[in-house]
Amino acid sequence: MNYFTFGYDGYIYAGVIAMPTFIEKFGSETPTGHILTASQTSIVSSIPTVGCLVGFVMIAVLADRYGRKITIYVAALIGLVGMALQVAGVNLAVITVGRTIASVSTFVTINMALTLSAELAVPSIRGAIVTLSSVTIGIAGIIASGVNYGTYAIQSSLAWRLPVGLQLIGPCLIILAALFVMESPTFYLIKSDDVRAKQSLRKVRQGYTNAEIETELENMRHQHALRATEQSVSMLDIFRGANLRRTILASSFVIITQLSGLAFATTYAAIFFVQIGNANPFLMVLALCILEWGGACAGQVLIEVLGRRRQALFATSVLFVLDLAVGGLGFAPATNKKATTAIAALCLVFGFFIAATMSPLQWCAVAEFPTARLRNTTTSYALLNANLATLVISYVLPYITNADAANLGPKVYLIFAGCMLLCFIWAYFCYPEVRGRTLAELDEMFEARIPARKFRTYICANALEHTATTIKEGPQAEEAENILEEEKV
């Protein structure tokens, strides 16, 4: 539900800001009718992301002190306030304030969902579990786009108030669902409460023996600086020593995803289809969301088949080609129907592909790279970077693409193509393979300063001593054993 609420908010406003009744009420009057100017579009779409700054502080204060569940409850209540303000909005200022308050809630709940996913999932399926986020966001996108498509023709404020008001369901369901979610055993270990940590782990490892539970707990204790009693930590520790590299990697793909042109597949999807002259932009956005959901489902398999590093190289290279193609077609006259049809088709392909490759990568990076004791801080910092990147790009795009501004239109994709080329080069030299590794193994490899290209074949001392720590002996443990036997020979 945390991911659903996040996805619904983003996609619902992608359509709302293009609705005639919304534009007529909040837009600026011109000789040809009401329009949302570049500045108005930027404000309502980008300014609310500053709420993530408050969310960052909330996580630092609440998450490790009171636990993941309490933090989720507080955030959900804040979300209800923000969403109620949006429904009652009488001007853009009230709606923007409401969205900003709601973004605090979204930032915190997404952070907690990623933290729990990383801490509770078995290493062999951690990628698939984490990438369920993309599937859920895709479902939210389909529902939001379907609601927009069904209401945009209503000749009253109900056209946009109804889709916005449905957001209120999300926080209510989050509060109910959290009642059935276990507190993370990692949180209890941080508090030096081994008894409750074992109880928590047992509830999420139904069917495992006592020996397997004890083995996994022992593995969790090996995580670097896990217990609060071992050493005090500060927020600045995420920039010190080996943690700096982990912080950069955790933040990497949430920023790279924004640099790919994602905004035109989410925040400005309807507006973009209007700009290229599509006759039914709301239907196109619905089709785009369905394809993105299909891509997210494929991404669950792809992330484990290709692994993180290969998928990073694959994603950035293909997105470079797609961005280059859309940007090149942008030079065709607006009256060229073949060009505009091709752009629309490529945008649909773009939506499917980014959901299948880039979206799973960004969620896995945020969940997997932080060390246990700094996970909340690192994860929230990574998501803060994502929101700041969204803020900058969402604010700037209308000024360089809208007809009343620089009027680049689809040609802006050439800028995204250049970004993808640089990101491919960075990923080749800096992005490691962490598929199937336990969190304790990642601690060891980062502390040992292992180069990114050697992560896949590196044999951890802890893995050799505790081969059973990957529950049910996943493929990474078997690979380590085979390599060890070869070395003995």
Closest alpha carbon to 186 in 91, 58, 90, 64: 64
- CA-to-CA separations, 14 to 198, 249, 269, 406, in angstroms, rounded: 45, 29, 6, 21
- CA-to-CA separations, 177 to 20, 84, 113, 257, 469, in angstroms, rounded: 36, 21, 12, 29, 30
pLDDT number for residue 231: 52
Residue 451 has pLDDT above 90, yes or no: yes
Confidence of residue 124 (pLDDT cuts 50, 70, 90): confident
- CA-to-CA separations, 146 to 72, 121, 159, 163, 259, in angstroms, rounded: 28, 33, 13, 10, 27
User: Going by DSSP bridges, is the β-strand pair 28-30/33-35 parallel, antiparallel, or unpaired?
Assistant: antiparallel
Confidence of residue 138 (pLDDT cuts 50, 70, 90): confident
Among the ranges given (144-158, 171-185, 415-429), the one the predictor scored with the smallest mean pLDDT = 171-185
Rounded distance, CA 186 to CA 228, Å? 11
- CA-to-CA separations, 304 to 139, 355, 472, in angstroms, rounded: 21, 15, 17
Amino acid (1-letter code) at residue 417: A
- Enumerate the β-bridge partners of residue 29: 34
Residue 274 has pLDDT above 50, yes or no: yes
pLDDT tens-place string over residues 410-450: 888 999 999 999 999 999 999 999 998 888 889 889 999 99
pLDDT number for residue 113: 83
pLDDT number for residue 222: 67
Return phi, psi of residue 434, to 5°: -125, 10
Rounded distance, CA 464 to CA 480, Å? 7
pLDDT number for residue 389: 87
Among the ranges given (138-152, 294-308, 340-354, 470-484), the one the predictor scored with the smallest mean pLDDT = 470-484
pLDDT greater at residue 372 or residue 312: 312
Residue 420 near residue 260 (C-beta atoms within 8 A): yes
pLDDT number for residue 391: 80
pLDDT tens-place string over residues 245-256: 999 999 999 999
Residue 438 falls in which region: left (phi positive, over 0), alpha (psi -120 to 50) or beta:
beta
Confidence of residue 12 (pLDDT cuts 50, 70, 90): confident
Closest alpha carbon to 353 in 412, 432, 274, 288: 288
What is the end-to-end Cα distance of the chain in Å, rounded? 52
For tokens 């000749």, the residue is 155
pLDDT number for residue 279: 62
For tokens 């398999």, the residue is 301
Residue 469 has pLDDT above 60, yes or no: no
Residue 426 near residue 209 (C-beta atoms within 8 A): no
Rounded distance, CA 259 to CA 256, Å? 5
Among the ranges given (67-81, 138-152, 219-233), the one the predictor scored with the smallest mean pLDDT = 219-233
pLDDT number for residue 300: 87
pLDDT number for residue 475: 45
Residue 224 has pLDDT above 60, yes or no: no
409 Cβ contact partners less than 8 Å away, ≥ 6 residues apart: 275, 276, 330, 401
pLDDT number for residue 404: 67
Residues of the chain with pLDDT > 70, as a percent, come to 89
Mean pLDDT of the residues in the chain: 83
Q: Among 19-28, 301-310, 380-389, 419-428, name the most confident range.
A: 419-428
Residue 211 has pLDDT above 50, yes or no: yes
Residue 76 near residue 109 (C-beta atoms within 8 A): yes
Closest alpha carbon to 80 in 96, 95, 55, 98: 98
Residue 231: how many other CB atoms lie within 10 Å: 9
pLDDT number for residue 255: 94
Residue 425 near residue 431 (C-beta atoms within 8 A): no
pLDDT tens-place string over residues 22-51: 999 988 888 878 888 878 887 887 778 788
Rounded distance, CA 269 to CA 374, Å? 36
Residue 11 has pLDDT above 60, yes or no: yes
Confidence of residue 232 (pLDDT cuts 50, 70, 90): low
Return phi, psi of residue 52, to 5°: -65, -25
pLDDT number for residue 482: 52
pLDDT tens-place string over residues 351-369: 899 999 998 999 899 988 9
pLDDT greater at residue 207 or residue 306: 306
pLDDT number for residue 336: 84
Confidence of residue 14 (pLDDT cuts 50, 70, 90): confident
- Enumerate the β-bridge partners of residue 28: 35
pLDDT number for residue 467: 45
Rounded distance, CA 473 to CA 207, Å? 15
Rounded distance, CA 438 to CA 126, Å? 9
The residue-averaged pLDDT of 259-275 equals 75
Rounded distance, CA 451 to CA 329, Å? 40
